[in-house]
Amino acid sequence: MQMKNFLHGCLLGITFVLCCAAAHAEIRLVDDKGETVVLREPARRIISLAPHVTELLYAAGAGERIVGAVEYSNYPEAAKAIPRVGNNQQLDLERIVALKPDLIVVWLHGNVQRQLDKLLKLGTPVFYNEPHKLGDIAHAIEQFGQLAGTEAVATQAAHAFAAREAELRKRYAGRPPVRVFYQIWQKPLMTINGEHLISDVIRLCGGQNVFADLKPLVPVVSTEAVLEAAPEAIGTAIINSKAQDGLDGWKKWTHLTATARNNFFLIPTDLISRHAPRILDGAQQMCESLDAVRAKRPK
């Protein structure tokens, strides 16, 4: 009788453990669109629909699970070998279906909605990502680690990113503010508002985005509005050294402080425009550029 009770207790214990394991196997996360994404188990076949998402997945230790990615997913080096599924304007839906993904990760405001609507009809879980602050990048790395079951790698990478960000904030805290106009595009003239990730980089460096209060994330502005804002520094992202011409148009406005003191700065687009860990390299360059602006002030 005692042996029977013992075996019965063991069976109950095993059942309890198995039930707990099953419960913990389900992954439930809220994405940057505010939607809850549920996976029955960690994703094994992931499609990335943005270059920065590809970088985040690699940082989270899930690079080997990416079976498809959009064009310009070129970092790290291994990402160049991932099969392509189109670009942010035109996705190859047939290719995506053929790759049999169990998770698709999307850039919230970087993919065409009509394409996304077709994707949603596939029934594959879709996770939206769009960091607006540097701290969101560390959070995204941890989320991707949870989605792929690579938490150990992701947690370490997230902590390393957060530590470096904190060190930069501490180093540049209290520096005299610099009024910055950040140019996203030349024609039409486009900039960023205070909710954009690059604006958080500007703040980290002690800068003030002169168009932080505008409503659109990437607003169109006029030349007159920039002149009225009177920035002390003007910056933009560059693909290569020939892109420097993008700021040449401001050199005729000699009454601008930015022009009078040649306070123009250029940062490689992969380091400043991607919502991924390398943005701290871009932040370092921006902080150094704004320090150079401060150094040119009259004594």
- Residue 194 placed within a domain: yes
Question: Could you write out the DSSP letters of every residue in 146-207?
Answer: HHHT-HHHHHHHHHHHHHHHHHHHHHHTTPPPEEEEEESBTTTTB---TTSHHHHHHHHTTE
* Total number of domains constituting the chain: 2
Residues 231 and 139 in one domain: no
Across the chain, mean pLDDT equals 91
Residues 198 and 73 in one domain: no
- Residue 38 placed within a domain: yes
Q: How would residue 108 be classed by pLDDT, with cut points 50, 70 and 90?
A: confident
For residue range 218-255, list pLDDT tens digits in order.
Answer: 999 999 999 999 999 999 999 876 555 689 999 999 99
Please indicate whether residue 138 or residue 240 has the higher confidence score (pLDDT).
Answer: 138
pLDDT value of position 5: 52
Rounded-to-integer distance, Cα 171 and Cα 186, Å? 32
- Residue 5 placed within a domain: no
Residues 188 and 61 in one domain: no
Pick from 7-21, 183-197, 247-261: least confident = 7-21
Provide the percentage of residues in the chain whose pLDDT is more than 90.
Answer: 82
In this model, does residue 20 exceed pLDDT 60? Answer: no
Question: Distance of CA 280 to CAs 98, 167, 223, 287, Å?
Answer: 36, 11, 30, 10
Q: Are 242 and 212 in contact (CB under 8 A)?
A: no
pLDDT value of position 33: 94
Residues 147 and 183 in one domain: no
- Tell me the average pLDDT across 157-185: 97
Length of the chain: 299
Which of 117, 132, 161 lies at the terminal end of a domain, its last residue? 161
- Residue 211 placed within a domain: yes
- Residue 167 placed within a domain: no
Q: Are 219 and 211 in contact (CB under 8 A)?
A: yes
In this model, does residue 272 exceed pLDDT 60? Answer: yes
In this model, does residue 74 exceed pLDDT 50? Answer: yes
Residues 186 and 246 in one domain: yes
- Tell me the average pLDDT across 260-276: 96
Strand partners, 265: 235
Q: How would residue 117 be classed by pLDDT, with cut points 50, 70 and 90?
A: confident
pLDDT value of position 122: 85
Residues 49 and 117 in one domain: yes
Question: Could you write out the DSSP letters of every residue in 76-100?
Answer: SGGGGGSPB-B-SS-B-HHHHHHT-
In this model, does residue 8 exceed pLDDT 90? Answer: no
pLDDT value of position 121: 86
Residues 150 and 38 in one domain: yes
- Residue 81 placed within a domain: yes
The CATH number for 253's domain is 3.40.50.1980
Contacts of 149 (CB under 8 A, 6+ apart): 41, 42, 43
Which of 118, 137, 161 lies at the terminal end of a domain, its last residue? 161
Please indicate whether residue 17 or residue 117 has the higher confidence score (pLDDT).
Answer: 117
- Residue 10 placed within a domain: no
Residues 101 and 35 in one domain: yes
- Tell me the average pLDDT across 15-21: 43
Which of 161, 192, 215 lies at the terminal end of a domain, its last residue? 161
Residues 106 and 182 in one domain: no
In this model, does residue 3 exceed pLDDT 80? Answer: no
Nearest in space to 28 (alpha carbons), one of 175, 99, 152, 127:
127
- Residue 289 placed within a domain: yes
Contacts of 194 (CB under 8 A, 6+ apart): 209, 212, 213
Full residue range of the structural domain in which residue 264 is found: 174-295
1: exposed, middle or buried (Cβ count in 10 Å: 0-12, 13-18, 19+): exposed
Residues 196 and 255 in one domain: yes
Rounded-to-integer distance, Cα 41 and Cα 58, Å? 19
For residue range 22-42, list pLDDT tens digits in order.
Answer: 445 799 999 999 999 999 999
Contacts 24+ apart (CB under 8 A), 76-83: 79/54, 79/55, 82/48, 82/54
Nearest in space to 99 (alpha carbons), one of 126, 123, 69:
69
* Predicted TM-score (pTM) of this structure: 0.88
- Tell me the average pLDDT across 103-107: 95
- Tell me the average pLDDT across 60-87: 97
